[in-house]
């Protein structure tokens, strides 16, 4: 009896423990619990330890984390009648556990079929090239459609990604050929552009080189011209200095000659002899032209004086011979000789006066020439030439009686 009671109590204790344990539920942090009582929705519980009445209340756990659904590949016909195989993945996140539990029986199957059908619609409105290059557009369009459709299921579609778009093998081969041709065209264009750029660069380099050569030639010519100009200026200055120096020397020589002439008081006989010596040297030269002084009157007067001098000497010699040979010839002969000697003396005096005047004119002409040369030198360089000395006083006038006659009567 006691043993049976102990067994019954043990069984009741085990059943009570099982009942108590069945009434304990733990909701994890990423879950929400839909609590039902006798099959009717009561509330949504948050994470934590929850106690329920077993067999009367139940809690259905819903995972609130973001989850992914793989959409199987399917055949899609584009607008240009090309059959392509497209598959995608859908990322969703539950927002309302109650609607997710009560509004859709099999959410995964429902969202997969919905993604497949809308994928046909979105890709079927595009051409093949557009579908291959517009993945982002397909993703956005499909996500908007799925998000609107699953909103009443308490789910938010986060994003949709197209994994693959596979055209048929023949289309793939054509695309490869097209891509190859395009690559070839780009290579040819790139090579042509490279040659063009190289030609342009070479032309610009040659242009710059030509410009630099022209500038160098110009600079060389300018420098050469400047050098020639400087050399010409220096030569001109040297020639000017030489001419000034020569002119100074000639002026000094002229002044020295001019002073020596005035200081020496040359006689007409000396001037006439110098004329004859100069004419002799001119005549002995090898030149084919003979230059005669322009002042012919003075020269002829000097020559006449010399001739008269020799004539006087001859006449004196004849007179002396006659006196010795025949005596004095009487009073008439002596008177005639005295008268002839007087006339000769007067003529000689007149001729000497003319000769003195001619010498004075010659000296004055030489002085005028010296003054003109000095003035020219002074005009060329006023600082380099000293003023000429004052002219020498003119020769004294010839006395009325003239010089003593050298001829004895």
Is the predicted pLDDT of residue 198 greater than 90, yes or no? yes
Q: Please state, in angstroms and rounded to a whole number, the distance separating the CA atoms of residues 78 and 171.
A: 13
Radius of gyration of the chain (CA): 75
Is pLDDT of 157 > 90?
A: yes
Distance from C-alpha of 269 to C-alpha of 285, rounded to nearest angstrom = 25
> Does position 294 have pLDDT exceeding 50, yes or no?
no
150 exposure class (CB count in 10 Å sphere: 0-12, 13-18, 19+): buried
What mean pLDDT is reported for the chain?
78
- The residue count of the chain comes to 409
Q: Which tens digit of pLDDT belongs to each residue from 300-330? A: 555 555 455 555 555 554 444 444 444 455 6
Please provide the DSSP assignment of 259-291 as one string. Answer: HHHHHH---HHHHHHHHHHHHHHHHHSS-S--P
pTM for the full predicted model: 0.44
Q: How far apart are CA 210 and CA 221, in angstroms?
A: 16
| The residue to which tokens 């909103």 are assigned | 151
For residue range 92-127, list pLDDT tens digits in order: 999 999 999 999 989 999 999 999 999 888 998 899
In the CATH scheme, what is the homologous superfamily, with its name and number, of domain 66-167? Band 7 domain (3.30.479.30)
Cα angle 310, 311, 314 (rounded to 5 degrees) comes to: 90
The helix-helix angle for 331-380 and 268-284 (nearest 10°) equals: 70
Q: Which of 250-254, 374-378, 397-401 has the highest mean pLDDT?
A: 250-254
C-alpha pair distances (Å), 262 with each of 194, 255, 256, 342, 360: 99, 11, 10, 33, 10
pLDDT at 247: 86
Question: For 134-267, where are the alpha helices, taking DSSP H only?
Answer: 135-149, 169-264
> 155 pLDDT exceeds 90?
yes
Query: Residue ranges of the domains in the chain?
Result: 2-62, 66-167
Confidence grade of residue 196 (pLDDT, cut at 50, 70, 90) = very high
Closest of 347, 348, 363, 357 to residue 274, by C-alpha:
363
CA angle 212, 218, 221 (to 5 degrees): 140
Q: pLDDT confidence of 382, banded at 50, 70, 90?
A: very low
Q: Check residue 140 and give its pLDDT.
A: 92
């Amino acid at each position: 009896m006691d043993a049976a009671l102990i067994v019954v109590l043990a069984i009741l204790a085990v059943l009570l423990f099982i009942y108590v344990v069945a009434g304990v539920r733990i909701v994890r942090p990423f879950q929400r619990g839909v609590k039902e009582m006798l099959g009717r929705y009561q509330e949504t519980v948050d994470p934590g330890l929850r106690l329920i009445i077993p067999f009367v209340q139940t809690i259905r756990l819903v995972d609130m984390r973001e989850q992914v659904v793989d959409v199987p590949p399917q055949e899609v016909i584009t607008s240009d009648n090309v059959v392509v195989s497209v598959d995608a993945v859908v990322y969703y996140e539950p927002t309302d556990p109650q609607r997710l539990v009560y509004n859709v029986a099999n959410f995964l199957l429902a969202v997969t079929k919905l993604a497949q059908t809308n994928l046909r619609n979105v890709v079927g409105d595009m051409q093949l090239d557009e579908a291959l290059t517009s993945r982002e557009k397909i993703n956005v369009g499909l996500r908007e459609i799925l998000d609107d459709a699953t909103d009443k299921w308490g789910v938010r579609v986060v994003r949709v990604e197209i994994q693959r778009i596979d055209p048929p093998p023949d289309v793939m081969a054509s695309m490869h050929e097209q891509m190859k041709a395009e690559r070839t065209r780009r290579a040819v264009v790139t090579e042509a552009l490279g040659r063009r750029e190289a030609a342009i660069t070479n032309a610009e380099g040659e242009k710059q080189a030509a410009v630099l050569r022209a500038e160098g030639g110009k600079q060389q010519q300018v420098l050469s011209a400047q050098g020639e100009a400087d050399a010409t200026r220096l030569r001109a200055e040297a020639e000017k200095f030489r001419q000034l120096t020569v002119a100074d020397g000639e002026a000094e020589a002229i002044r020295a000659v001019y002073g020596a002439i005035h200081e020496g008081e040359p006689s007409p006989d000396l001037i006439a002899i110098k004329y004859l010596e100069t004419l002799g040297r001119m005549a002995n030269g090898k030149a084919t032209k003979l230059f005669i002084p322009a002042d012919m009157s003075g020269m002829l007067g000097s020559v006449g004086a010399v001739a008269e001098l020799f004539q006087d000497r001859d006449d004196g010699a004849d007179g002396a011979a006659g006196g010795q040979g025949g005596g004095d010839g009487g009073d008439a002969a002596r008177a005639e000789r005295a008268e002839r000697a007087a006339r000769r003396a007067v003529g000689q005096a007149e001729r000497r006066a003319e000769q003195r005047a001619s010498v004075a004119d010659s000296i004055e002409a030489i002085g005028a020439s010296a003054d003109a040369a000095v003035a020219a030198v002074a005009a060329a360089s006023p600082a380099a030439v000293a003023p000429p000395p004052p002219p020498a006083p003119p020769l004294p006038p010839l006395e009325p009686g003239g010089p003593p006659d050298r001829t004895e009567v």
